[in-house]
Amino acid sequence: MTRSGTSLPPTIDIETLGFDAGAHLLVKHALATLPEGASLRVTGQAPGWQAQLADWCRAQGHALAWADASQRLAHVTPGTAEAGRWRDAAHTGHADPRAAGAVLPEARAHWGLAARGARVEAGSPDIAFRLDRKDEVWAENAAELYAQAVSAQWDPEVALDWQVAFTHPPEVEAAIRQVMTYMVENENAALLVPARFLGQIHPHYRELQAALAIQVADEARHIEVFTRRIRLGGGEPALSTAGGQASLKSLLDEPDFSVAGFLLSVLGEGTFVNLLQFLAAHAPDPLTRQIAKLAARDEARHVALGMSHLLYRLQQEPAMRGRLAHAVEARHDSLAGTAGLNEEVFDALVLIGAGALTPAAVAAGFAKVQQLMREMADGRFTRLLRLGFERAEAERLSALHTRNFM
């Protein structure tokens, strides 16, 4: 920009650059540096630049006047945002979640895929997201849990030693394959439940979106390593039961995000953490113990996200507690006709705890599995208390939880 004289407004010469080739960039940036109330003089030589400048000014809400009838010199006075194209732009919160009013109670369909905090032009298309209210999805520590998950990602190739030599008896190896087969099936549910909701959450709630996305990635990794563990040494997956699948299907069928998170994460994955800790302590080989340890760490984050969301929702809507209790009861009733935990899985856990097929070893394994069941029930009870359930109610609901664990 040049100044022809101290009393004259700044002048920009766009030379032979047309508005079909980017001339508006020069004009736009020159306007942005003008002092309040000033105008900009624009001159150029590209064919038809005058009409292009006039069109552009109209679209942007800037006033345009010509110095004389020859139209060799234009005076452009910037319009306010209120007068221009962005006058009806939607305010969509702030990118920084800690800023006041950053995350809004309701997200609008016409904000669509815009970055939170962007100004969205009027007339942008509506994109419908079923979960578009903060109280339905939010968790106060979603951003922290996402960051933790990013730094805690592990590469199965690096974090695990697949060259391990097995020294345990073949019947214990068969028990490991049965438990891993059961766990893959549970992980499939744990991947699909958040994945289905992920596509329904308004991107305004991006911290939640990110936390669920990495949770889905965690589950994909669990499925991979459990499957790989089954196949190590030439094995194939074992048995999948109707009762187990019925229990998991009831999770897939739950349409409410909070209820699904309660059943899956607070009760199911919480129980699963105990199961993984059992395997981390009692599996016969170091590879399986390490797999269980790493997966348990991931699951603990999934439980934390579910807890955080429910604490937030229950704070807004204490009556939700009744709906959660009802969901546990309804699920229990619908599964009453099924066998619950696969007998094969129960026996496999006993055998893993036993380590050998002798009466004394099986007695010890059986006691360890009884202890596991008590720890699972205690864990559920403790989490239910933290969600504000009365002691008796927490105990009752913990006991009604599916015998399939998840």
What whole-number distance in Å separates Cα of residue 320 and Cα of residue 310? 9
Phi/psi of residue 51, nearest 5 degrees: -70, -35
Minimum Å distance from CB 180 to Fe ion?
Answer: 12
- Closest to Fe ion by CB, 186 or 241: 186
Residues in contact with Fe ion, shown as a per-residue x/- string from 172 to 211 under the rule CB under 5 A: ---------------x--x---------------------
Site string for Fe ion, 332-371 (x = CB under 5 A): ----------------------------------------
Answer for the pair 250, 267: CB distance below 8 angstroms, yes or no.
no
What is the C-alpha to C-alpha distance for residues 321 and 310, in angstroms, rounded to an integer?
Answer: 9
282 binds Fe ion (CB under 5 A): no
Q: Tokens 């390593």 identify what position? A: 225
Provide the 8-state DSSP code for 263: I
Whether the CB-CB separation of 341 and 243 falls below 8 Å is answered with yes
Instruction: Please identify, using beta-carbon distances, which residue of 190 and 292 lies nearer to Fe ion.
Output: 190
Residue with tokens 């079923």: 130
Tokens representing 354 are 């036993």
Q: Is 132 in the site for Fe ion (CB under 5 A)?
A: no
Count of Cβ atoms closer than 10 Å to residue 382 Cβ: 13
Q: Which of residues 78-117 bind Fe ion (CB under 5 A)?
A: none
Task: Mark the segment that binds Fe ion (CB under 5 A) among 21-29, 48-56, 160-168, 298-306.
Answer: 298-306
Annotate 206-237 with b (16+ C-beta within 10 A) or e (fewer). bbbbbbbbbbbebbebbbebbbebbebeeeeb
- The H or E element that residue 136 is part of is helix 134-137
Residue closer to Fe ion by CB (options 11, 290) is 290
- Region from 128-136, 244-252, 295-303, 342-350 binding Fe ion, contact rule CB under 5 A: 295-303
Dmax (CA) for the chain in angstroms is: 108
Supply the minimum distance, in Å, between the C-beta of residue 304 and Fe ion: 11
Pick 40 or 406: Cβ nearer Fe ion: 406
Min. distance of Cβ 269 from Fe ion in angstroms?
Answer: 5
Selected from 132, 269, 285, 344, the binder of Fe ion by CB under 5 A is: 269
Taking the complex as a whole, the smallest distance from the CB of residue 168 to Fe ion amounts, in Å, to 24
Nearer to Fe ion, 186 or 398 (CB): 186
Q: Could you tell me the CA-to-CA distances from 195 to 86, 113, 266, 373 in Å, in that order? A: 35, 18, 17, 29
Segment near Fe ion (CB under 5 A); pick from 194-202, 236-244, 264-272, 279-287: 264-272
- From residue 215 to residue 254, what is the string marking binding to Fe ion with x (rule CB under 5 A)? ----x--x--------------------------------
Nearer to Fe ion, 137 or 266 (CB): 266
Residues that contact Fe ion, how many (by CB under 5 A):
7
Identify the helix (H) or strand (E) that includes residue 322: helix 320-335
**Sheet containing 74-77, strands listed edge to edge, beginning at the edge strand earlier in sequence:** 11-13, 40-43, 74-77, 63-66
Q: Quote the DSSP letter at residue 254.
A: -
Collapsed DSSP state (helix, strand, coil) of residue 218? helix
Q: Whose Cβ is closer to Fe ion: residue 64's or residue 251's?
A: 251
* Least gap, CB of 181 to Fe ion (angstroms): 15
Among residues 26 and 259, whose Cβ is nearest to Fe ion?
259
- Residue 75 has φ and ψ, to the nearest 5°, of -110, 120
Is 127 or 147 the residue whose CB approaches Fe ion more closely? 147
Shortest distance, position 299 Cβ to Fe ion, whole Å: 5
Q: Does 302 bind Fe ion (CB under 5 A)?
A: yes
Which of the stretches 64-72, 196-204, 214-222, 353-361 binds Fe ion when contact is defined by CB under 5 A? 214-222
Q: Which residue has the tokens 């920084």?
A: 96
Q: Which residues of 354-363 are buried (b: 16+ CB within 10 A; e: fewer)?
A: bbeeeeeebe
CB of 147 to Fe ion, least distance (A): 18
Give the ranges where 232-285 is alpha helix by DSSP (H): 242-252, 257-261, 270-282
Q: Kindly tell me which of 26 and 180 has the beta carbon lying closer to Fe ion.
A: 180
CB of 192 to Fe ion, least distance (A): 11
Q: Pick between residue 136 and residue 187 the one whose CB is nearest to Fe ion.
A: 187
Give the residues lining the site for Fe ion (CB under 5 A). 187, 190, 219, 222, 269, 299, 302
